Amino acid sequence: AQRVTQPEKLLSVFKGAPVELKCNYSYSGSPELFWYVQYSRQRLQLLLRHISRESIKGFTADLNKGETSFHLKKPFAQEEDSAMYYCALTQGGSEKLVFGKGTKLTVNP
C-alpha cells in the first residue's frame, strides 16, 4: 500500500537559516507528489506539486524517484513560514490524497 513518511514531527530553525522538511514515500507506480501547508487558524492549502515544478514562497521540492523522496526546501526561512506542513501523494488513476503525519515548522526570530 502507498505510504507517506515525514520523519520529523517538529522542526525549529532561526530566521534566515536554510530549512528542509523531509518526505519519503512508498509506492510502486508513478505517484504525483504534493506539499500542503496549514498556517495557524487557516485551512489546509496547496503549497506546490511536483509536476508544476514551480517555486512558491521561495519553497522548492524535487522528486527523487531513486530515493523515493520529495523533500521541501527553502534557502532562507522567514517567520511567516511557521506552519504545519503535510506531504501527500495521489496514485495513478486515483483522485484521493494520501497524507503524511505532518511536520510542524517553527521559525524563530
Partner 1 sequence: GAGVSQTPSNKVTEKGKYVELRCDPISGHTALYWYRQSLGQGPEFLIYFQGTGAADDSGLPNDRFFAVRPEGSVSTLKIQRTERGDSAVYLCASSLGNSGEQYFGPGTRLTVT
Collapsing DSSP to helix, strand or coil, 88 comes out as: strand
Cβ-based nearer residue to partner 1, 17 or 46: 46
Find the angle CA(99)-CA(93)-CA(51) to the nearest 5 degrees: 65
Half-sphere exposure (Cβ direction) of 104: Cα atoms closer than 13 Å: 4
> Does 86 interact with partner 1 (rule: CB under 8 A)?
yes
Q: Which residue has the cell 487557516?
A: 42
Give the count of residues interacting with partner 1 (CB under 8 A): 19
CB of 102 to partner 1, least distance (A): 5
What residues numbered 17-76 form the site for partner 1, per CB under 8 A?
A: 32, 43-46, 49
Residue 61 one-letter amino acid? A
Grid coordinates of 76: 532562507
Residue 10 in the binding site for partner 1 (CB under 8 A): no
Residue closer to partner 1 by CB (options 35, 81) is 35
Binding-site ranges for partner 1 (CB under 8 A): 4, 32, 43-46, 49, 86, 88, 90, 94-102
